[in-house]
Amino acid sequence: MAKVHKTQTELVLQLSAWEKLGGLHSNPTADVDSLVCVTSAQNPWSKEVLRGIRAPGTGIPYVILLGSMRYSGGKDFTAIYGRGPVDIYEFSSGEFKRWIVSKK
């Protein structure tokens, strides 16, 4: 399961080998200074949480959503498993606007 690790200067979303394969992406990284906020959501499959279309990655509705979600304002990285709660990391700059990661 994907986990966020913090160093002094950056955040790393640590993916397993299977997650890298399913998400078609290596471990996303972001500067600590670009982190705007971290929020939680109980329903990760709602339209309030998810934006755009998955491309590339793996998706089975309500089971797994792994990879990039692209929309007109940018893109998000998702690692969502099942219907449980997620943490949403929002960034002011970097490759992804948000990381949406399932909690354990």
Residue with token string 């998702």 = 78
Task: Judge whether 20 and 67 are in contact, CB under 8 Å.
Answer: no
| pLDDT at res. 86 | 98
- Report the predicted TM-score, pTM, of the whole model to 2 decimal places: 0.94
- One digit per residue, pLDDT tens: the chain, 104 residues? 999 999 999 999 999 999 999 999 999 999 999 999 999 999 999 999 999 999 999 999 999 999 999 999 999 999 999 999 999 999 999 999 999 999 97
Helix (H) or strand (E) holding 100: strand 98-102
| pLDDT at res. 104 | 74
